[in-house]
Amino acid sequence: MLLFSNMKGILYIVATPIGNLEDITFRAVRILKEVDIVLCEDTRVSAKLLAKYEIKKSLRRFDAHSSESGRQAIVELLREGKKIALVTDAGTPGISDPASLLVEDIRREENEIKIIPIPGASALTAALSASGVPASDFLFLGFLPHKKGRQTLMKEIGKSEHVVVFYESPHRILKALAELALVVPERKITIARELTKIYEEYLAGTPQEMAKILTERSEKQKGEFVVIVSPK
């Protein structure tokens, strides 16, 4: 028993569905069943996923507002030997979310705690795979800043000779297209939304064409957008 009491825990970085709840691996479901605790952005969202696969686990919130002391509390649980799964509301943790902060803390402080990725869905790779845009190499910018640094990134997009991908909210997609129209007016833009859901959609054209299509729609924009800017 003394041997096992000295064992450190494991943090699993578990990718979850980006829309369709069936887009999760067998391995991810098994891990979620085996761990002691599930860390998640929104307990309500994760509870629905776990309920679908008849998994009952202790859920704890971990998001961009989690403090350093909160991260340290998680590290302590891992030191005690707990097995913990870290999930995001949708997709792969660490891609445009704060999972990297926790992982960085653990790697800096504890070499004996294992960190194991459980790969799966990602809006980035899903959008690129069905876009028809050659993407042997690309620049991913995550969510663009609302104000500070946004225009600088737009200028970099204009100069880029690589495919550029970023995420945008429905509230700012028209603003983003207007900004792209200034820096890459003739480039092909592909926008994808509602990925893996019933109303999944891909649109492609110049920034002005994309803005016109979205503006003429009567309903409000829904779902986060993946924006793919073709290279020069």
Residue stretches of the chain with pLDDT short of 70: 1-6, 218
Q: Among 127, 49, 133, 143, which residue's Cα sits nearest to residue 88? A: 49
Q: How far apart are CA 193 and CA 168, in angstroms?
A: 10
pLDDT at 6: 56
For 163, the 3-state DSSP assignment is strand
Q: What is the pLDDT, as a whole number, of residue 65?
A: 83
In angstroms, what CA-CA distances link 64 with 41, 46, 81, 102, 181? 8, 16, 25, 11, 32
Helix (H) or strand (E) holding 190: strand 189-193
CATH domain 2-118 topology: Cobalt-precorrin-4 Transmethylase; domain 1 (3.40.1010)
- Superfamily of structural domain 123-229: Tetrapyrrole methylase, C-terminal domain (3.30.950.10)
Instruction: Answer whether 24's CB lies under 8 Å from 120's CB.
Output: yes
- What region does 219 belong to: left with phi over 0, alpha with psi -120 to 50, or beta? beta
- The neighbour count for residue 131, using CB atoms within 10 Å, is 20
Say which amino acid occupies 125. T
Q: Distance between CA 11 and CA 189 in Å, rounded?
A: 38
pLDDT value for 3: 45
Tokens 């599930």 -> residue: 38
Q: What is the pLDDT of residue 218?
A: 66
Q: Where are the CATH 3.30.950.10 domain residues in the chain?
A: 123-229
pTM over 0.85: yes
Residues of the chain with CATH 3.40.1010.10: 2-118
